[in-house]
Amino acid sequence: MTIKFSDLGLSQPVMQALDMQGYDTPTPIQAQAIPAVLEGRDLLGIAQTGTGKTAAFMLPSIDNLRKADNQIPFKSCRMLVLAPTRELAGQIAQSAKDYGALAGLKVHSIVGGTSVNKDRNKLHRGTDILVATPGRLLDLIDQKAFNLSGLEVLVLDEADQMLDLGFIHALRRIRELAPADRQTLFFSATMPKQIKELVSGYCNNPVQVSVTPESTTAERIDQYLFMVQANEKQSLLEMILSGRHPVPGEFERVLIFTRTKHGADRVVKKLGQVGIAANAIHGNKSQPQRQRALDEFKRAKVPVLVATDVAARGIDIPGVSHVINYELPNVPEQYVHRIGRTARAGADGVAIAFCAEDERAYLKDISKQTDAEFDRLPLPENFRAVVEGVGPTKRAHPNQTKMKRVKPKPRGASADMRGGVKSDGPPKKKHPNRKGKPSGTGQGGKPGGRPQGNRGGKPGGRPGGKPGGRPGGGRSFQKRRSGGGGGQRRGGGASRQG
């Protein structure tokens, strides 16, 4: 028997919002979690990314907040959702607005990389639902701009990723600041030892919901492997994206993962050199830059996105057809999160891994802990010959245009640096306000140089300086004026008088 959202006990406003979004049938995690959350129980949910966890905790929580009908607390919130990345926080906040469109609840999000003052202002009167990254939340608490005194529901989403990013101390402090009588909903894709310890401190006799075995990969994702040298990965990637070496599946949006921020930027730069447009998203990018890259990827304006693991949990975009692990993660669980960006919303997906000689240990750990099975793909014909430059040359991308370097023309009436011969160009025009310079030898200067002293200077001042100024020839960064010689150089060079 197929379960419908109408069978789970959700209120009419929430059901109408689901109808507006076109949702009718819950996912397994939603079908198991929603009834327990509606009862007010603490919950521990183990589910991979892309299984519908956001709706699993947001739909029943909106119903509970609406029924309680408590006032919005001053400088506080009624429901707090903690997320590891800015992108994930933004997507959760948007889902809360969509699901609660008819419930009359106020929703805000705060993340790092944005104005703290704006966050202070929008949270001054409090809010019903707040989605935040741990660092920015504690910043506001330390500034006495926010508190957790009015908290009724606390949600930790992607808890294992927060631990990977070093938020363990922040999570412990937030636990101490939150009221003891709150409801806690805890979600994680994996369940390492640290997560179990964290759950014991956050939850009180939680209902446990698990829809997939621990650390396994999605069944709808076909996984392939290339064994390739590290210095050959870029060439292989370019051949795949340009269609010169076919791989399974049709490209729609391609997400590429690297281990480092500089590695992501380097891949984007080299793809651009062969006419393949791509954006990078990582921790060194500002929040507007990251959001713009996601928007262009979502609209397929730039269908190639290169990311580090910091973005692995925040990219919830349908239509990601391929995930390419340009560099294998050194933490096996990260592989699960990376490839979980494809095969979302019931679709199928393709994951391709590049493995160099020094990454064989990573590949072994991934296969062991995630039960991943890879189909090995052959390298293109004459691949190494092409890489070494002795095989067929690379075909230029049809949109690629070569920029022709133009040698600047010499200025008219200017002396040639090598022979002292004037060019044949038109004479250089004088500025209408500039007086001509007398020829001859200037005082203390080179033959043919400009005169020194107070010739052309202002009366009452130092030679060539301002009226009443101190004498001397210190270096000046002021613009020259017509007829003046402020801060003149002696002998054609900058002089410093001791």
Residue 337 lies in a domain: yes
* 331/364 Cα distance (integer angstroms): 11
Q: What is the pLDDT of residues 118-172, one digit of tens each?
A: 999 999 999 999 999 999 999 999 999 999 999 999 999 988 888 877 888 999 9
Instruction: Indicate whether 37 and 178 sit together in one domain.
Output: yes
* 124/446 Cα distance (integer angstroms): 70
Instruction: Indicate whether 152 and 202 sit together in one domain.
Output: yes
Is the predicted pLDDT of residue 402 greater than 60, yes or no?
A: no
Residue 276 lies in a domain: yes
| Structural Rg of the chain based on CA atoms | 32
- Element at 78 (helix H, strand E): strand 77-82
- Look at residue 432 in the predicted model and tell me its pLDDT: 55
Sequence-ordered list of residues with C-beta below 8 angstroms from that of 435, at least 6 positions apart, any chain? 456, 482, 483
User: Where in the sequence is the domain holding 358, given as residue range(s)?
Assistant: 221-387
Instruction: Indicate whether 251 and 147 sit together in one domain.
Output: no
Q: What is the pLDDT of residues 13-24, one digit of tens each?
A: 999 999 998 888
| Domain boundary residue, one of 387, 416, 433 | 387
Q: What is the pLDDT of residues 455-495, one digit of tens each?
A: 444 444 454 444 444 444 433 323 333 444 444 444 444 44
Instruction: Indicate whether 23 and 170 sit together in one domain.
Output: yes
Using DSSP, state whether 58 is helix, strand or coil: helix
Residue 144 lies in a domain: yes
Instruction: Indicate whether 89 and 153 sit together in one domain.
Output: yes
Residue 450 lies in a domain: no
**Contact criterion met (CB below 8 Å) for 325 and 338:** yes
Q: In Å, what is the CA distance from 155 to each residue of 9, 98, 346, 418, 468?
A: 21, 18, 25, 73, 71
Instruction: Indicate whether 178 and 247 sit together in one domain.
Output: no
Take residue 189 and report the two structure tokens written for it: 């894709």
Secondary structure, 3-state, 156-176: ECCHHHHHHCCCHHHHHHHHH
**Contact criterion met (CB below 8 Å) for 309 and 282:** no
Instruction: Indicate whether 172 and 262 sit together in one domain.
Output: no
| Domain boundary residue, one of 330, 352, 387 | 387
Instruction: Indicate whether 100 and 159 sit together in one domain.
Output: yes
Is the predicted pLDDT of residue 193 greater than 50, yes or no?
A: yes
Take residue 236 and report the two structure tokens written for it: 């292989």
* 263/284 Cα distance (integer angstroms): 12
Residue 290 lies in a domain: yes
Which is higher by pLDDT, 303 or 213?
303
- DSSP string across 340-369: TTSS-TT--EEEEEEE-GGGHHHHHHHHHH
Take residue 149 and report the two structure tokens written for it: 């005194």
Q: What is the pLDDT of residues 440-462, one digit of tens each?
A: 444 444 444 454 444 444 444 45
495 CB burial (10 A radius; 0-12, 13-18, 19+): middle
Q: How many C-beta atoms lie closer than 10 Å to residue 185's C-beta?
A: 30
Instruction: Indicate whether 181 and 327 sit together in one domain.
Output: no
Instruction: Identify the CATH number of the domain in which residue 171 sits.
Output: 3.40.50.300
Looking at the 3D structure of the chain, how many domains does it have? 2
Instruction: Indicate whether 278 and 159 sit together in one domain.
Output: no
Q: What is the pLDDT of residues 325-369, one digit of tens each?
A: 999 999 887 888 888 888 876 678 999 999 999 999 999 999 988
Residue 412 lies in a domain: no
Instruction: Indicate whether 378 and 356 sit together in one domain.
Output: yes
| Domain boundary residue, one of 350, 369, 387 | 387
**Contact criterion met (CB below 8 Å) for 214 and 345:** no
**Contact criterion met (CB below 8 Å) for 80 and 151:** yes
Residue 403 lies in a domain: no
In degrees and rounded to multiples of 5, residue 251 shows phi and psi of: -70, 130
Query: What is the residue whose two structure tokens read 């937030």?
Result: 174
Q: What is the pLDDT of residues 59-73, one digit of tens each?
A: 999 999 999 989 999
Instruction: Indicate whether 274 and 332 sit together in one domain.
Output: yes
Residue 81 lies in a domain: yes
